[in-house]
Each structure stands twice: as C-alpha cells, then as structure tokens.
Amino acid sequence: MSSKPVIATASLAGCFGCHMSFLDIDERLLELIELVEFDKSPIDDLKKFTRPVDIGLIEGGCCNAENVEVLRSFRKNCRILISLGECAVMGGLPAMRNTISLKDCLEEAYLNSPTVAPEDRVIPNDEDLPLLLDRVYPCHEVVKIDYFLPGCPPSADLIWEALTALVQNRPMKLDYQLIKYD
Amino acid sequence: MDSIKKIISRYKKDRTRLLDILKEAQAAEGKISDQAIEAVAAALQISRAEVEGVISFYHFFSDRPTGKYVIYLNNSVTSGMAGREKVARALEKEANCRFGQTSPDGLITLFETSCIGMNDQEPAAIINGVIFTSLNEEKVKKIAGQMRKNIDVQEMIEEYGDGANRHDLVRAMVKNHIRKEGPVIFGDYQTGLGLNQALKLAPEGVINEIKKANLMGRGGAGFPTGLKWELCRKEKSSEHYVVCNADEGEPGTFKDRVLLTERPEMVFEGMVIAGYAVGAKLGILYLRHEYTYLKRYLKYILENMRQNGFLGKKIAGQNFDFEIEIKSGAGAYVCGEESALIESAEGKRGDPRDRPPFPVQNGYLGSPTTVNNVETLATATQIFTHGSAWFRAMGTSVSAGTKLLSVSGDCDRPGIYEVEWGLTLKELLSLVGAEETLAVQVGGASGQCLSEAGFGRKLCYSDLATGGSVIIFNKTRDIFSIVRNFLDFFIEESCGWCTPCRAGNVLIKNKFEKIASGLGTASDLAEIEAWGKLIKATSRCGLGQTSPNPVLTTLTNFREIYEKKINKEADFRSEFDLARSVEQACQVTGRKFEEEREDA
Amino acid sequence: MPEKLKFSIDGREGLADQGMTIYEAARVIGVYIPVLCHYEGLKPVGSCRICSILVNGRWLASCTQPLSEGMVIENNTPQVIEYRRAIIEMLLAEGNHFCPACEKSGNCELQALAYRYGIMVPRFPYQFPQRQIEAYPGFLLDHNRCVQCQRCVRAIQTEDGQKIFAMKNRSKDVRVNVDRKLAAKLSPDQIQKAMDICPVGAILKKEVGFLRPIGQRKYDRQPIGSEIEGKK
C-alpha cells in the first residue's frame, strides 16, 4: 500500500483552527482517504514518524524550542512542506507579541496584570515547559518551506485544492475567492 | 518665551523662514520647547503637527533638552578609517554618557551625524557650530577639560587653518588642502570682469555663451547649464529665482566648502550672471547647516560686492537689480536634491517633489527656478572672464573645462584637486600619492566602488561622471565595512516618502548582513541584486535611485569577496539561531538551554 | 477643446485629454493601474510606487506622470507585475499587518492588492517593527497598519488649510503625526471620511466596526480594480 502519498500534520503555535478547517472538507474526507495515507498527525494520533512522508502540513509558527524541534523533524521527514494558515505563514496572532520583549510580555501576563491574584504572581517555570523564543517566527524563517496557504483559517476548499493538486501532480488552481488572509 | 516672540517677529512671521526661526529658538533655549512650537505654529498659522514634522526631519533640531556643549561626531567612512572609534569611546568616557544622550551633569550632549564635509581632516566634529578636525583621544580629553571650565568653544581652537579660514569672521581650524590649482576655479580672477562681459550681452546671449562653452552641472547629474537657464527663462512668470546649491552632503565631497572659503565672489558673481540670464531678481544661497561657520564671512563678502556695485540696484551701472540671500539647511542629505532643497528653502520638510513639473517650471514659491551647483556657478563666471573658446579648449570634446575633486582616504595628499576632465583614475591615484589601492569610491556613497580593473577609466561625463568625491581605500581595508557604512547612511538619510527607498533599503541592509555573517547562499546574492535593481527603478528621487549602488557596484567589481562568503551548495540557510532565541527565556526563568537540548 | 493625446497600454490604443496623468488616461480606456496612495480628487504624491509602469524602458509612477503624445506603456507585463508585487510585499513586511485581527480586513486596499497579485507570502522577512496605537476623541490611529500614503494628510485639513495630520520623522521612522488640538475638533463626518479614505486599517472610527459580514465586504468576491476593468 506504499504507493499512496503519505501526509503528516502538526500544530505548532496555532489554535488548531487550521486542522478544523482541514476537517471541514466534509464528505471529501472519504475521497481523501482513498487518495492518501496519514502518518504523524493529530488526526490519527500518531506521535512519531513511521516512514518517509510526501507532504507535511504545518499549522502555527514557532514560539518555543519544542516548536522548532518539531518543525525541523518535519523538514527532515517530509519531501514537501506546507505552511498552513496565517500563523505558520507570518506568525499570526501569537506574533503580535513580537514588538514587545519576552520579559515584558511574561511580566505583564503573570505578574502585573490586574486579573492575576496576588498569590498567583509567578512566571511559569517548570522544567517540562519548553523554553519560549524571543519572538514568534514564521516557519520559513526556520526551515525551507515549499508552499504557503494563507488564511485564518485557510478555507477547506483551498486546502482541498492544494492537496489534490499536489497528490495528482498538477498545478494548483487558485481562484480569487480561495485566497484570504482572514 | 519673550525671546521666541522676538525671533518670530524679527523674521516677520515669514513661513519660508521657519528653519531659521527654529534654529534661533533652539540656540536660545537649548532645545525647541513645547511653548516655542506652540508660539511658532500660532504665529505662522500652521498646525503644531506640521511644525513638529519640520523639526523631526532635520538632524540638527532637537525637541529634547541638550547640554551646554552639543557634539556632533561625523560617522562617515573616512572618519572611521582615521580613528573615529577611539574618539567616540573617549568622548563617551569624558561625557559619561552614550551617543544620543546628555551627560548626567547636563554639560555635554553626544550625537552622530553624516558626512560634514571634512573628509580630508577626520575625525571631525561640530561642537556648538564650531568645526573640530583631526580629533584624537588626547584632544578629546583636552576639549572636555575645557568644557568643564565653561570655556567658549571658539576659544578652544588652538590654530586656525589656511587661507580665509583665518579670516576674522571665520576663525576656523579647517584646512583648505588645495593640492592642485587648475586654470578655471583657481585661475586668474578679478571680481566683476566676468559679470561686466555678461551684462554687455542680452540675456539670451548669455545663455548662448554658456551653451557654446558646453558647461554641464558640476553637482554630479551633469545637466547642461545653458539649457537649464534657457528653460527657466522661457517660463512665463512674474518672478524667477536662482538658487545656489551649497548643500554638498555626498559623503566625501568638500570642494564647495573650499570654493566658498576661497572664491566666494566667483560663486556669487555666477549667481548674478545666472539671475541676469533667467530674469531673476533674487538669488538664494542654500548653505548646508554644517557650513554655518562660513555664514558671517559670506554675508560680509556679499556686502562688499554690494558696495562695489556687483550686487543690489543697477548692477555694474546697468538697469539690472539682483539680491542674494543666504538660507540654511538643518542637516539632511536629501536636501541636495534640487526639489527637496526648494521645499527646505521654503521652510518645510525637505521631501523631494514629484517631477514634472521641474524646478525650472515650478520651483521656489511656485516660480521658475534654476538650481545650480556652487562650482557650476563659479565656472560660469570664469567662462565670461576668459571666454567660452578658452573654456572649451580644456577637458575632452564632450566634457569641457575642469573639475574640482575632493580626494580623501588612503593617500599621501588628500584635499582639493582641480583637474581637466579626461584624467584617468590611475593618473589621479599617482597624483595624490595613493599606493596599494584596493578600491576607489567615485561620486560618494551614491556613486561607484571601482576595483583595479576600472582604474583606467576616465573622469568625464561620458565615462565616470562625478560630483567630485573620490575616496581611496588601500588593501588593508574591508569592502564589507565600506558597504555597510554607506547602506547605513542611506537608511539614515532617506526621507521616507516612497516605499522602495524607505522599506527597501532596510531589507537590503538585512540581507547584506546575512551574507556578511557567512549565512548567505547563491539565492541570497541573486535576491540582493534583484532587490537593488527594483529600488533603483522604482524610487521617487535620486536618493532612492542610487541608494543600492554600494551593494550593486561592489557585487559587480568585487564579486569574489561575496562569493567567498556564501555557501554555494546550500539552497536554503536560515539565520535562525535557537540558542540565541531562547536567551531571553533563560534569563527570565534562570534555566539553561544546554539541558533542554540533551532532553531532546 | 483640449487636444487629445494618443497612447497605448499593453498594445491597447486609446485617446485621452491633455493634462491627464497616465493613471487617469488608463482609466478612460478601462485599464486598471493599481494605486494605493492615490485617491480620486486628491493631489497625487507618488509615495507607494505600486502604480509604477514602464515607458520606453523608463520606470514612471503613473499617478504623477502626465501623459504625453504617443506613449507606449507597459502595465501588465511580467516585469512590471514582478516589481509591483515586490512593492506590495515590501509594505506587508514593513508594518504589522495582522489581517485576522483587523477591522478593515475585506475592505482594505493593501490586502486587496495582495489578493489581486496572488501573494501567498512576502519574499521579504517580516520586520515586526515597534509601533504605537494612539487614541483621539472619536478615532484611533494604529501605526502598525499605516503605509505612509499621506491620504489623510491631504484630505483632512482645517478650513484655513492647516494640517491636522502631518508627516513626522523620516526614513523608516516616518509616521503620521496628529495635531491633538485640531483633531479634537473633527466632526463625526470628518472622522468617517478619514477612516474611509485610509486604504488600510490605520484610522478607525470608535464605537463601530465589523459592520459588514464576511462574504459581503468590498473585496471578498471581486478583485480590486474590477470596477474599472468592467467599464468599456
């Protein structure tokens, strides 16, 4: 069965909205399963790569060291890598912190904000938490990205068109209404 | 506040005098205060926002308090070669503050500034309007000591320069460094002879004579002067103006400074002749702020010329009146562009205008205006003193006459050279005593960086056209540092009006740094070249259209040093550095990154 | 009768009145040249450069360049499109344009131009500059989104011609500067005009927003410029 193209997906600093939009292809999901197989992805809950992957879909930018690690492993294991959605493409809403220093950000969120109870005033610092990056990085600033699908989220139709075009090895047909940044 | 009101009324609430008003307000209060802005806006009937816009455009205005002594240290490339770093650190040590700040005791403020026209005597600085040249750590120490004793800056000068720099009204330590006197600018000259010859002709005849001489603009662009005067004259208007562009800001040029010091009459006489030719009654000398130390002297020269009948009413006994006034910039390279200069002379931000209409059609205060370079006007005077045939006999068939060159950098004899057009770079290098030359920057930051392969090229309009800046780099110099300095210069000096120049130059600089740091690929080289061409093609004025030249001309002439820096095999290399990106998080949490990596 | 000038754009011939700019002349024959800083009725300032076109190998800004007799203009050629895209991408990278969080999304001209030119990601790294959001009576000024087009500077002035919006600083730090005193006197209509004329979401009238649902906004269905191309 290895003749079917293999797909992997991940959500980095995103909200899973792009994955939701992916599922929004509705009944075409059945068609998709005929066309491809899934490897590492929240969709099938596979945690590790089990084989070489043809198409990797990345939702979200990189806001911590773990995101970078996952993204790099995707680059290593995927032949084609796609930035899916505004956060992957340009950092998205998480990147709105990019104009503020990380220290100020954390202090505002966990120490100085009026909604923080006095006894809770502590910056989370557990060894299990990945270290935050100084700012949020669009994926293509960290690894080479082959395709970009903007949108918040990208519409199901755009995801469908892009995936089927790649799988069928034909050029994408991107109608005006398919490309939106919101 | 009373003093501000007095200043405003002395300038008769004239909007075109806004820069002068602000300058005096700053001198009176050490900054341009909120109240001063309010008072100026009300008196000139413009909004506060607009006044703030003007203040923020120019280097030498400050709406923040400054110290008793305000030091502007030049950051041009030759300054760096002459030991600027040490001087800067010494200044910071003495003042006990960083650049951009004022010392804790309020005595000294430190600023950086772009080329101040002293490239042959660097490192140079302007302190409270007074020029200090050839600075070193010892001198800095001494000057700072004098400041602590509240000594007047003028009294800190130990030795005056040569020529008119010693004049009572100048008293500057600046040196002329005239190394080669040519037949035009430094040839035989007697004030009024050329003017008398010109006034014998009809204005059209004057224009014709300039055309016959084949005089072309000496500022760098090389537009035919006769044609410019003719176009200006032909425009129907009740007023016409002559503007002398003495805003030489191109890094490495200082010839207009020397011309205005040693041959001011020749320049002013050229303005009178131009005024007669185009039908103007008023000429404006737009003097760059950095040369303010010459202003009193130049006013005195103008008064002398008035006394002798070369200026004012009924000039040379003829029915022709012409006056010259001096207006000053406040620190902005872009004001060397003629339409930006006009905006600035009108008391506005020095943003270039859209062209057409050109200044000859719609210039100062909307009237036809001819804007000519200092050297062009001086040369015009000499054409009438000695005749167009005499002039054409010099130089090459296309490029008539001589050119003043401002030579600086790695050579034995930096300074001013008046040479005939057609000289090769190789000949120039031997004339100035340059050895082991790696590169020659011709035409300043906006010009070209040439390697040895180009040293056979000729200085003339048909080959290497130039406004006269020549900066020499020997084989110990690093091309990347030179390019970096020029790119920073353009980012600093862009007016910010149009997208390619405002945004593009920052992007080019970042890409350049990626390549310089060794993280570039072949596609990075291709991209920086493509972006440079885009900025040149689509920018609104000459600044943007030449701003990528430092990268583009070194990419052409020193390609091998770029090739050495890049990784030719890689198709993608990221600047992203995980260890550096988590540094802040490590600081905030007290964690170490290495341990994380082991876990992973 | 003003003399008519002959010209052609990408091989399409036309006649237009003397005194028209290239942009205006193109409109006459139903050719759209994209503009961002230019706005009907305001004096063009040539700041965005998106309307750059090629005439005889020379690049010109069509919003400021007067048409002249016999001009042969390149508008939709690969080289012109390439440069135009690059300038739009520069603007996207230069500011902080978070479309999903912007009230102007769907009605934004910068976004619409990026859609029209099929931009999936700018070729330039995002700069993420530090910019302020300022509050004034009746409106907000979000510098993150400002593209320095100067439309507000030109369009919104006092009766005696004083500038309520003026440019401040220079180079990469150039910003729209608001005269606080004069801005306080702006009428709701003037504020509405300022917001409407702003091509992006930099000037926002307070207490209104997201008036039109997604799908019905100005550029949701039709690319910017369709209204001009639809004519003739």
C33 & C125 share domain: no
Please report the number of interchain residue pairs, chain A to chain B, with beta-carbon separation below 8 angstroms: 56
Residues in contact with B200: Cβ distance below 8 Å, sequence separation at least 6, in sequence order: none
Instruction: State pLDDT tens for residues C38-97.
Output: 999 999 999 999 999 999 999 999 999 999 999 999 999 999 999 999 999 999 999 999
Query: Which residues in chain A touch residue B574, judged by CB atoms under 8 angstroms apart?
Result: 141-143
How many residues appear in chain B?
600
Q: Output the pLDDT for position A118.
A: 87
- Domains of chain B with CATH codes: 2-57 (no CATH), 69-158 (3.40.30.10), 180-392 (3.40.50.11540), 402-475 (3.10.20.600), 478-600 (1.20.1440.230)
Q: Which residue of A has its CA nearest to C131?
A: A99
DSSP H helix total and E strand total for chain A: 6, 7
Residues in contact with B568: Cβ distance below 8 Å, sequence separation at least 6, in sequence order: B521, B522
Contact B585 A102 (CB under 8 A): yes
- Residue C193: inside a domain, yes or no? yes
- Residue C157: inside a domain, yes or no? yes
C15 & C50 share domain: yes
Write the DSSP symbol of residue B296: H
C97 & C186 share domain: yes
Determine the average pLDDT of the residues in A150-156: 97
Q: Which chains form contacts with chain A, at 3 or more CB pairs under 8 Å?
A: B, C
C68 & C114 share domain: no
Could you tell me if B345 and B284 are in contact, meaning their C-beta atoms sit under 8 angstroms apart? yes
Determine the average pLDDT of the residues in A2-9: 89
Please report the number of interchain residue pairs, chain A to chain C, with beta-carbon separation below 8 angstroms: 66
Residue C75 DSSP SS3? coil
C43 & C142 share domain: no
C181 & C117 share domain: yes
C180 & C127 share domain: yes
- Residue C172: inside a domain, yes or no? yes
| Tokens standing for residue B557 | 């002439």
Instruction: State pLDDT tens for residues B507-529.
Output: 999 999 999 999 999 999 999 99
Residue B393 DSSP SS3? coil
Tokens 């004259």 correspond to B233
Instruction: State pLDDT tens for residues A73-118.
Output: 999 999 999 999 999 999 999 999 999 999 999 999 999 999 998 8
Residue B273 DSSP SS3? helix
| Tokens standing for residue A150 | 């903007």
Q: How far apart are CA B352 and CA B337, in angstroms?
A: 7
Candidates B117, B186, B214, B221; CA nearest to B404 is B186
| Tokens standing for residue B226 | 């006769």
Domain of residue C98 covers: 86-205
Q: How far apart are CA B115 and CA C26, in angstroms?
A: 44
Q: What is the CA radius of gyration of chain B?
A: 25
Q: How confident is the model at residue A14 (pLDDT cuts 50, 70, 90)?
A: very high
Can you point out the beta strands (E) in B436-582? 437-442, 448-450, 469-474
Determine the average pLDDT of the residues in B231-256: 97
Buried b (16+ CB within 10 A) or exposed e, B397-424: eebbbbbbbbbbbbbeebbbbbbbbbbb
- B78 by Cβ neighbours in 10 Å (0-12 / 13-18 / 19+) ranks as buried
Q: Which residues are registered as beta bridge partners of B188?
A: none
Q: How far apart are CA B597 and CA C6, in angstroms?
A: 69
- B600: pLDDT strictly greater than 80: no
Q: List helix spans (H) across C98-225.
A: 109-116, 151-155, 180-183, 188-197
A65/B contact by beta carbon, under 8 A: yes
Domain edge (last residue) among C76, C107, C127: C76
Residue B321 DSSP SS3? coil
Buried b (16+ CB within 10 A) or exposed e, A31-57: ebeeebbbbbbeeeeeeebeeebbbbb
Contact B600 A141 (CB under 8 A): no
| CB-nearest partner of B534 from C86, C168, C181 | C86
Q: Which residues are registered as beta bridge partners of B372?
A: B244
Write the DSSP symbol of residue B443: S
- C170: pLDDT strictly greater than 70: yes
Backbone conformation region of residue B500, classed left if phi is above 0, alpha if psi is from -120 to 50, else beta: alpha
C106 & C200 share domain: yes
C94 & C42 share domain: no
Q: Output the pLDDT for position C3.
A: 81
Q: How confident is the model at residue B321 (pLDDT cuts 50, 70, 90)?
A: very high
Q: How far apart are CA B206 and CA B228, in angstroms?
A: 13
Determine the average pLDDT of the residues in B285-308: 97
Q: Which residue of A has its CA nearest to C104?
A: A182
Could you tell me if B546 and A29 are in contact, meaning their C-beta atoms sit under 8 angstroms apart? no
Residue B27 DSSP SS3? helix
DSSP H helix total and E strand total for chain B: 26, 14
Interface of B with C (CB under 8 A): 45-50, 52-53, 56-57, 332, 349, 351, 354, 356, 491-500, 502-504, 506-507, 510, 527, 531, 534, 537-540
Could you tell me if C202 and C145 are in contact, meaning their C-beta atoms sit under 8 angstroms apart? yes
Element spanning A16, H or E: none
Contact C99 A83 (CB under 8 A): no
Q: Which chains form contacts with chain C, at 3 or more CB pairs under 8 Å?
A: A, B
Q: Output the pLDDT for position C208.
A: 87
Determine the average pLDDT of the residues in B135-143: 97
Query: Which residues in chain C touch residue B45, judged by CB atoms under 8 angstroms apart?
Result: 160, 162
Q: Output the pLDDT for position A2.
A: 54
Contact C223 A176 (CB under 8 A): yes
Q: List helix spans (H) across chain A.
A: 17-23, 28-35, 65-77, 86-90, 102-107, 156-167
A101/B contact by beta carbon, under 8 A: yes
Domain edge (last residue) among C30, C49, C76: C76
- B357: pLDDT strictly greater than 90: yes
Q: How confident is the model at residue B376 (pLDDT cuts 50, 70, 90)?
A: very high
Query: Which residues in chain A touch residue B584, judged by CB atoms under 8 angstroms apart?
Result: 101-103, 132, 134
Could you tell me if B545 and B536 are in contact, meaning their C-beta atoms sit under 8 angstroms apart? yes
Q: How far apart are CA C211 and CA C217, in angstroms?
A: 9
Instruction: State pLDDT tens for residues A19-64.
Output: 999 999 999 999 999 999 999 999 999 999 999 999 999 999 999 9
Element spanning B409, H or E: strand B402-409
Q: What mean pLDDT, rounded, does chain B reach?
A: 96
Domain A6-96+134-178 part of CATH 3.40.50.300: no
Asked if residue A153 has a cis previous peptide bond (ω within 30° of 0), the answer is yes
Query: What count of other Cβ atoms lies within 10 Å of the Cβ of residue A167?
Result: 16
- Residue C214: inside a domain, yes or no? no
Among positive and negative, which fits the CA dihedral A111, A112, A118, A120? negative
- Residue C227: inside a domain, yes or no? no
Q: How confident is the model at residue B593 (pLDDT cuts 50, 70, 90)?
A: confident
C22 & C132 share domain: no
Query: Which residues in chain B touch residue A68, judged by CB atoms under 8 angstroms apart?
Result: 576, 578, 581
Q: Which residues are registered as beta bridge partners of C52?
A: C61
Could you tell me if B153 and B130 are in contact, meaning their C-beta atoms sit under 8 angstroms apart? yes
**Phi, psi (5° rounding) for residue B224?**
-60, 125
Q: Output the pLDDT for position C2.
A: 62
Tokens 């079917």 correspond to A4
Domain edge (last residue) among C27, C47, C76: C76
- Residue C223: inside a domain, yes or no? no
| Tokens standing for residue B52 | 């703030």
C131 & C198 share domain: yes
Determine the average pLDDT of the residues in B318-334: 96
- CATH number of the domain residue C19 falls in: 3.10.20.740
Q: How far apart are CA B375 and CA B378, in angstroms?
A: 5
B576/A contact by beta carbon, under 8 A: yes
- B595: pLDDT strictly greater than 50: no
- A1: pLDDT strictly greater than 60: no
- Residue C218: inside a domain, yes or no? no
Candidates B96, B91, B189; CA nearest to B143 is B91
Candidates B74, B139, B153; CA nearest to B108 is B153
C133 & C190 share domain: yes
| CB-nearest partner of B47 from C48, C125, C164 | C164
Instruction: State pLDDT tens for residues B45-89.
Output: 999 999 999 999 999 999 899 999 999 999 999 999 999 999 999
Half-sphere exposure of C20 (CA within 13 A, CB side): 22
Q: How many domains does chain C have?
A: 2
Q: How far apart are CA A174 and CA B154, in angstroms?
A: 71
Helix axes B255-262, B264-278, angle to 10 degrees: 90
Element spanning A148, H or E: strand A147-149
Instruction: State pLDDT tens for residues B141-178.
Output: 999 999 999 999 999 999 999 999 999 999 999 999 99
* C-alpha dist (Å) from residue B339 to B355, B371, B441: 8, 9, 26
Tokens 């000038």 correspond to C5
